[in-house]
Structure 1
Amino acid sequence: MTTTLPLIGVTSGLRLESESQQTSELYVARRYLNALEDAGGLGVPLPIVRTEAEAEQLLDRLDGLLLTGGADIPPDYYGEDRHPATKDLPRERVESELTLVRRALELDKPLLAICYGHQLLCVALGGTLYQHIGGDVQSDLEHRPSGGARAALHPVTVTPSRLARIVKEETCEVPSSHHQCVKEPPTVCEVTARAPDGIIEALEHKGTRFVVGVQWHPELARQDPWSRRLFDAFVGECAG
């Protein structure tokens, strides 16, 4: 008997031609697909969508949505002036993903947002961002790697919440690679984890089936039980 795996849309990064600045390549890091596969799901790399109708056609065929990492959201999307350290992602990607997120929320699709995806979820729901840790917000904690490492490691404290029930840990050592973070969380979201410096590390949408954003990279910690539990819970909701 063949088992039907839940199909989970995975947002794609963009590479641009240096001269024309036109999209030349879409890509998804294999680690996201591996994490979903390990949990019993099938990741589907997504194209750029340009209309709500395109987003709806895609999401009607999918069981969930995973928002991957990336660079920075242009600050005019959340009403801020540009910080010199901000490195914009192509607006083509940002617009596509905002459209996908809003339609996924309307359809109550399970959604897991990682790093930049967590920040995008915040902005999509009306929140704002600090553009540079160490500039806009002071911290001595290392949130992005140095010396060629893939990620910095630091603890987060998880508050009583759905996330806490999933990971079954009050404190997790998480791999981190970001210089921006949530400033004002959306009113519809609950803050469910923080770093020791107070930076918001996780959000949950209070009125949905499963919408969780984490500032860290759980796909880089698949050896840790809490990380596997997070992907298992997400894929389980997608299979639901």
Structure 2
Amino acid sequence: MKPIIGLTTFLSEQSKYSTVSRNYVDSIYAAGGVPITIPIVEDKTDYSEYIDLVDGILFTGGNDIAPYYFGENPLKELHSMSSIRDEYELSLFRKAYEKNVPIFGICRGIQLINVALGGSLYQDIYSQIPGALGHSPTQTASDELYHSIQISKHTQLYDIFGEERIFTNSFHHQSVKQLGKNLIATAFSEDGIVEALESTEERFLLGVQWHPECMTKRHPMFLKLFSAFIQASLVHKQKEVSA
């Protein structure tokens, strides 16, 4: 019995396609899950059908989250935004969170988790965080190790990797600022930027700022994140079946 994993999607520039990188699909499949994509449906507010269908949800990377969701006006460094995607994902997250569905967030996904739970973001780390190191290299392959992160002991993330310091890739210019409700930061880059967070409650809710889905083939250690997510989703599925 394999768990069904919903992957959030993004709209193409012409809004003709609701799509997602194949790397997410391959990583979920390699970890033992069955990936399905959840399309962006404009003006939809009830996501019960999707939540009933899946055993876990992966919030994927992409657009900047509109700053008015955390009470700010945009900086000039803000990149692409999509209020359609923001509304759809925030609504989907709230419904999944309410039903205790396992949730994994990657890049934009960690930021979405934080904002949905009342937190805020650095809209642009280079202009807002003095001494920020490199976090969004250009002309660099997505599976290249780029910078180190420090993982806090006695956390879910440490249990997954079993190491206090690892190297990751990095492709972001925003990051978590004020933490949302019932969240704890579990990893930081050397300049103090939050690289991972998880829930303080008894649930699987994990977000990472880097892109492990791009790394699983060349650096198999990153498949551990997906395996932990799949295992939590399988447990959730079994509970639902026996309920």
Q: Does TM, normalized by the shorter one, top 0.5? A: yes
Gaps of 5+ in 1: 18-22
Question: Does the C-alpha gap of structure 1 residues 11 and 172 become closer, same or farther in structure 2, counting only changes over 3 Å?
Answer: same
1:6 aligns with 2:34: no
1:101 aligns with 2:93: yes
Contact 1:204–1:212 (CA<8 Å) still a contact in 2?
Answer: yes
Opposite residue 229 of structure 2, the aligned amino acid is F
SS of residue in 1 equivalent to 2:16: strand
Alpha-carbon offset, residue 187 of structure 1: 3.2
RMSD of aligned Cα (Å):
1.4
Tell me what 2:117 maps to. 125
Tell me what 1:15 maps to. 12
Cα distance between partner residues in 2 of 1:101 and 1:208: 17
Tell me what 2:200 maps to. 206
1:236 aligns with 2:231: yes
CA displacement 1:161-184 (0-9 Å, x = unmatched): 011001111111011100000111
Cα distance between partner residues in 1 of 2:205 and 2:39: 21
Cα distance between partner residues in 2 of 1:209 and 1:202: 16
Cα distance between partner residues in 1 of 2:30 and 2:230: 10
CA displacement 1:137-157 (0-9 Å, x = unmatched): 123421011235436711111
1:58 aligns with 2:50: yes
Identity over aligned pairs, percent: 38
CA displacement 1:169-218 (0-9 Å, x = unmatched): 11110111000001111131011000000001111011142000100111
Stretch deviating more after TM superposition (216-225 or 111-120): 216-225
1:185 aligns with 2:179: yes
2:150 pairs, out of 148, 157, 160, with: 157
Opposite residue 224 of structure 2, the aligned amino acid is R
Contact 1:152–1:177 (CA<8 Å) still a contact in 2?
Answer: no
1:34 aligns with 2:26: yes
Opposite residue 126 of structure 2, the aligned amino acid is G
Give TM-score, length-normalised by structure 1. Answer: 0.92
Cα distance between partner residues in 2 of 1:136 and 1:152: 25
Tell me what 1:20 maps to. none
SS of residue in 2 equivalent to 1:45: strand
Opposite residue 150 of structure 2, the aligned amino acid is T
Q: How does 1:163-174 map to 2 (within 5 A)?
A: 163-174=157-168
Alpha-carbon offset, residue 59 of structure 1: 0.7
Alpha-carbon offset, residue 225 of structure 1: 4.3
Stretch deviating more after TM superposition (115-124 or 144-153): 144-153
Stretch deviating more after TM superposition (123-132 or 201-210): 201-210
Question: Does the C-alpha gap of structure 1 residues 43 and 98 become closer, same or farther in structure 2, counting only changes over 3 Å?
Answer: same
Stretch deviating more after TM superposition (198-207 or 136-145): 136-145
SS of residue in 2 equivalent to 1:24: coil
Opposite residue 12 of structure 2, the aligned amino acid is R
Give TM-score, length-normalised by structure 2. Answer: 0.91
Opposite residue 27 of structure 1, the aligned amino acid is T
The number of residues matched between the two structures is 231
